[in-house]
Amino acid sequence: MSRKFLDTESPGWVTDGLISEAQRQQLLARYPQEAPALGLLPILGSVLVGLSGLSVVAANWQGLPAALRLALLLGSLLGSYSAGAYFLRRGNPDLGHGLIGLGLLLFGASIILTSQLFQLVGYDASGLLAWVIAGTALSYVYGSRLLVLLTVLIGAAVQTYCVESLGIFSYVTAWLVVGGMGYYWWRRPDTVSATVLAVGLLWQAGLFIIVQHSKITWFFVPAMLIYAAGDWQPNRAGGRALQVPSLVAAYLFMFGLAIFGEADAYANILRPPLLPYLAALVAVLAVSVAGKRARGRLGTLPEWLLLLPGFYLSGGLSLAVATLVVLYAHAGSVLARANREHDPEQLTIGAVLFVAATAVAYFKLTWGFMDKSLFFLLGGVLLLGLSWYLRRRNAQVLAAAAPLVAQQAGTPPTSAAAPEAPEPTHNS
């Protein structure tokens, strides 16, 4: 509840006899007026001044003497770090972390521009490794989401540069991100940082597969290893957040297989040697299952259905049917779990997955067999029926969840006087 809301509304509450004037004063005292952290105009003004300075420097960069360029780089680096520390001390963490993040970016810019200045293009990315290390250390010190995001991005950028320009995979960079940021995630399983980290790691894994010229399906071994790490995380939400990107990747792959897998043209790209691939995947599965069992999350085991290596089947109808069965089984397992746990969000996701699987099945299996108008008629009826059923299920779950919420808020669920109560979602 904002202070402004309190200021404007509370006199009315007193008039209506809801609270006394003394209580109103108590309430106002409870939520003191926040001191304006920093006016908007000064920020805009300093951004404009900064930009003009930047453009002057950038326009004359090549003409400046080397020592001056170096001094400019290091000066702005020191400046943004000290400004960041200053604002943190003044109790303005957003601006403070932002400026420290800027300092980190300037460090990378300094390394690159100094190397260019002296025509030193490193033998490898060792020059840029320092950038990843600095980012990891700063994330540890400040524990800010922004710094974690920047560090993961820097790791991905350095790795991309290594692969694109040098044609090598920098194992040190990869291990710095896995070890440094992975340990951070393990101790502080923040959901946003976890998803960012997982995406960054998947990016590194993808680059590794590209450099190795391996079959692209090998990608799922490191991807599911990330997933398995999420199973072992004691914090459920933090572990889940790490798993989502891997699951999305696996789902999209299975989905693509269902749509395009009919032709057998992919055989050379997708099929790694059967035994090593299955052995690796089963090993990861074992790690994942052990984690699920240890943390009591065996209910999520059906997610591994998406990893069934259907691409070993020869193309054609058998593959299409097999992938569809997997997609349906997966959607069904999500729906079943959502029902069991009374989780409206999962229910929505399950419904979307189910509709997606149905759409694919419909296009793949029935398009060729029937008249177009019949096709659309049947499809419409099918989707309408499905949406009716799912809405009913959703309403039932929400109805079951609402009294619970109401109990926690201490007011009847229909009362409008409880704007603070977590409102039920309006997606029914």
Partner 1 sequence: MTDLLSWFSAPARRRPLLRALVAAQVLYVLGVAGAGYATTALGQRVILATTPIDPKDLLYGDFVRLHYAISATPLSAWHGSGAPQRRQAVFVLLATGADSLSTAVGVYPQAPKAGAGQAVLRGWVTDVYRGSFALRFNLERYYVPEGSGLRLEKAGRLHPLRVRVSIAPWGQARITSVDAATK
Binding site for partner 1 (CB under 8 A): 62-63, 66, 70, 73-74, 77-78, 81, 85, 100, 103, 107, 110-111, 114-123, 127, 130, 134, 137-138, 140-143, 167-168, 183-184, 187-188
- Residue bearing tokens 């001094």: 71
> Between 161 and 362, whose beta carbon lies closer to partner 1?
161
- How far apart are the C-alpha atoms of 328 and 25, rounded to whole Å? 59
> Between 188 and 215, whose beta carbon lies closer to partner 1?
188
> Between 138 and 177, whose beta carbon lies closer to partner 1?
138
- Residue bearing tokens 């989780």: 343
Distance of closest approach, residue 192 Cβ to partner 1, in angstroms? 17
Distance of closest approach, residue 260 Cβ to partner 1, in angstroms? 32
Q: How far is CA 231 from CA 72, 286, 356, in A?
A: 47, 11, 27
Distance of closest approach, residue 300 Cβ to partner 1, in angstroms? 27
Q: Are 189 and 237 within 8 A, CB to CB? A: yes
Helices (H) and strands (E) counted in the chain, each on its own, are 17, 0
Distance of closest approach, residue 77 Cβ to partner 1, in angstroms? 7
> Between 107 and 266, whose beta carbon lies closer to partner 1?
107
Compute and round to an integer the Cα radius of gyration of the chain.
28
> Between 85 and 409, whose beta carbon lies closer to partner 1?
85
Distance of closest approach, residue 343 Cβ to partner 1, in angstroms? 31
> Between 43 and 78, whose beta carbon lies closer to partner 1?
78
Residues 6 or more apart whose CB falls under 8 angstroms from that of 399 comprise: none
With the C-alpha atoms ordered 395, 300, 195, 352, is the resulting torsion angle positive or negative?
negative
Q: Are 180 and 138 within 8 A, CB to CB? A: no
- How far apart are the C-alpha atoms of 190 and 369, rounded to whole Å? 50
Distance of closest approach, residue 131 Cβ to partner 1, in angstroms? 9
